[in-house]
Amino acid sequence: MDKRVEVLNECRALIDEVDQQLISCLAKRFQLSKAIGSIKRDADVRVHQPDRAKQVEEHYVNLGTSHGIQRNFAVDLFHLIHEESCRIQRVEE
């Protein structure tokens, strides 16, 4: 096999592994959102906490830029995750 094709396939296998880790980390984060949602429901606290959300967004930006990830991407990623985190917190069981 062409060496480049071999390397391409190795890189793809590594991407598949990293994606598996990403999804597993996201699932863990959403489990925590669920737990927080139930605490907030009991304590009658609002799901969306703008100050905390801003703080976490900044954390994403700082972590992202320290790893060479664009600020806009880090912000968009956090917004997507935050939206799902809030949706999960609103689901009653």
Ligand X SMILES: C=C(O[C@@H]1C=C(C(=O)O)C=C[C@H]1O)C(=O)O
Residues at the interface with ligand X (CB under 6 A): 33, 36, 47-49, 52-53, 56, 82, 85-86, 89
Between 10 and 58, whose beta carbon lies closer to ligand X?
A: 58
* Beta carbon of residue 4, minimum distance to ligand X (angstroms, whole number): 41
**How would DSSP label each residue in 21-80?**
HHHHHHHHHHHHHHHHHHHHHHHT--S--HHHHHHHHHHHHHHHHHTT--HHHHHHHHHH
* Beta carbon of residue 72, minimum distance to ligand X (angstroms, whole number): 18
* Beta carbon of residue 76, minimum distance to ligand X (angstroms, whole number): 15
